[in-house]
Amino acid sequence: MRKRVVITGLGGICGLGTNTSAIWDEMRNGRSAIGPITNSELHDLKVRVGCEIKTLPEHGIERKQLVSMDRFSLLATIAAREAAQQAGLTSNEANTYRMGAIVGVGVCGWEAIEENYRAILLEGKNRAGIFTVPKVMPGAAAGQVSMHLGLRGPVFGITSACSSSNHAITSAIDQIRLGRADVMLAGGTDAPLVWGILKGWEALRVLSPDTCRPFSADRQGLVLGEGAGMAVLESYEHAVARGATILAEIAGAGLSADASDIVAPTIEGPEAAMRACLADAGLNPEDVDYLNAHGTGTKANDQIETAAIKRVFGDHAYKLSVSSTKSMHAHCLGASGALEMIACVMAIREGVVPPTANFRQADPDCDLDITPNVARERKVRAALSNGFAFGGTNAVLAFKAA
């Protein structure tokens, strides 16, 4: 019999708020944090809309560690510490090698990369900063979390673009079920609001000029945001033995690949991931009450995701409550799935489905109940969270009441 994996702590930071409680409060109230980018250094942009973290909270991270961290690692460490504190988790010599961290990231340390380009190419300096390599490497966030919390078990980073969080959480589940760890910190982080990344996304012509309107007929594209989300995962037995409060159970995960196109999604890939997730979780389609959609706000993504949901859920698709919280926290790339995990867990705990904000006009190709603009009270027994990425890498998670 395989081990049950439960969540005992959540941590988050994004444009909606600097902790999980604040983020959920804004989600529940349908408030979007998307707006004009205020960073004056981001010049020469055609699209100046994003979801910024205006002010970082007091984090107390020692300067010795801070100087070796890029922003994406700092955000992950802040979120991980909150999750560990909520879980009442501390490491000691008896358990440190049974506790680990896996952090997903989409674009890694571009803040440090741009600082060095500026210093060398514009300011005439003759060398890069001494901590450039440890700052920019994709696995840096996982390493920094482990150092800050004293975790000496399995620690590594995962990168699969927009599904990085869900892949990281899936891998953390596996570490526990395989017996390599009792506790894992897992989630994702990204800080893409830097000049080079924004110019690259501009070139793709998928950025919205105003805001993110998933499933709305007048949607014009996605909006980028920064943030991080982390969860404390542990085996059910371990959580019960130490008297931890169980927030929800991660019932299963489903992975697939489109194997088709680097940017254009298919229906079959997302469909396969959702079916695999339901099977892994032992859930029937009618057991699911809420689905947190990938819902980026692009024309193709929202139509294809709607079609895939219909294939998987059949008639029950029209009884599902669906929403895209990216309409509020924007697309935080490697962090999106972790922030959406918070939405799923809290929907189960409070019986409230967060809305799809900014919705204005029905789209006949996106005709599911997408919970427009206003949250809905509803008992949520189980929830799915979709993560679909460039490269056709799909990862879906299932959560249920423990």
Catalytic positions are: 162, 294, 331
What whole-number distance in Å separates Cα of residue 253 and Cα of residue 186? 14
Give the DSSP H or E segment for 236. Answer: helix 236-241
Cross-strand partners of 393: 257, 389
What whole-number distance in Å separates Cα of residue 200 and Cα of residue 186? 28
What whole-number distance in Å separates Cα of residue 353 and Cα of residue 103? 26
| Residue 72 burial by Cβ neighbours in a 10 Å radius (0-12, 13-18, 19+) | buried
Q: Which of 52, 373, 377, 89 is nearest to 230 (CA)?
A: 89
Q: Which amino acid is at 190?
A: D
Give the DSSP H or E segment for 395. Answer: strand 393-400
What whole-number distance in Å separates Cα of residue 292 and Cα of residue 328? 13
Q: CA angle at residue 333 from 329 to 335, to 5 degrees?
A: 70
- Could you list the beta-strand ranges (E) of 159-261: 183-190, 227-235, 248-257
**The total number of residues written for the chain in this structure:** 402
What whole-number distance in Å separates Cα of residue 340 and Cα of residue 214? 15
Cross-strand partners of 190: 227
**Do 224 and 331 form a contact (C-beta atoms < 8 A)?**
yes
Please report where in the chains the tokens 């690949």 appear, as a residue.
257
**Do 160 and 388 form a contact (C-beta atoms < 8 A)?**
no
**Do 219 and 302 form a contact (C-beta atoms < 8 A)?**
yes
What whole-number distance in Å separates Cα of residue 58 and Cα of residue 61? 9
| Residue 130 burial by Cβ neighbours in a 10 Å radius (0-12, 13-18, 19+) | exposed
